[in-house]
Amino acid sequence: PLLGRAFALYDVVSHDDSTAADCVEFVYLVGGKMTSAMSRMQPGQQLDIWGPLGNGFPELNVQQLILVAGGIGQTPFLATGKSYLGKQAYGSSASETSRANRVTLCYGARTADYLAGVDDFRWAGMDVRISTDDGSHGHHGLVTETLRHVLSESSADSRAIFCCGPEPMMHAVANVAEAENVRCFVSLEAPMACGIGICFTCVTKVKMPDGTWDFKRTCVEGPIFDAEKLEWD
């Protein structure tokens, strides 16, 4: 493929006595020409990688961080959850203090066959709640139903939601967050041709302070946006 593809960073691995990363991990679902080509690569072959692109999830201090993932949307959350628990900061040594007392992952997929990396999150100390559309694993239903249950049982004074997945799901999560008065940040996926903000192929509508909206580049001003500021179509 001529153009690059944007991938979320799954994890950064380093030795305990070093802040230098030994390797970075990406998780992807084979679907198009790029991922098909990647699936055929052998150890020793090389790829050109540039990044990171845009911004990241905000650094908040909350009692509970709720990560909501749909489909392959769990990929940015392993390293994020570790960082919030003070266990790892993207490959560097653990933080002295955590930014969340508890991290909960609400992970939804069509069927159990599409769930990936669940044990990674549990081993990292996160509370994992699974939902599948067909009931083959965990809650039989939508991930937003699991989210509502987590919010209803939580006694945390301060909470935040980070969300990644299909846009209709993220919109639904944003609506739940608004109804529960919980801050919500979403990671948008958009086709990116250049990745540096020149081509404007990845723009999304964002609300402006004066009540109008403007286009913002997902690869520069995003991919993380405050859900309340998005102009959901």
In CATH terms, 11-229 corresponds, of 1.20.1050.10, 3.40.50.80, 3.40.1360.10, 3.40.50.1110, to 3.40.50.80
Other CB atoms within a 10 A radius of the CB of residue 24 amount to 15
| Domain ranges across the chain | 11-229
CA distances from 47 to 38, 44, 74, 103, 110 (A): 9, 10, 23, 33, 31
| CA–CA dist 8, 32 (Å, integer) | 17
| CA–CA dist 217, 161 (Å, integer) | 22
pTM of the model: 0.91
Q: What is the pLDDT of residue 201?
A: 92
| pLDDT, tens digit only, all 233 positions of the chain | 667 888 998 988 776 655 555 788 899 989 888 899 999 999 889 988 888 899 999 999 999 999 999 999 999 999 999 999 988 665 555 555 678 899 999 999 999 999 999 999 999 999 999 999 999 999 999 999 999 999 999 888 899 999 999 999 999 999 999 999 999 999 999 888 888 999 999 999 999 999 999 999 999 999 999 999 999 97
| CA–CA dist 132, 110 (Å, integer) | 5
| CA–CA dist 128, 147 (Å, integer) | 11
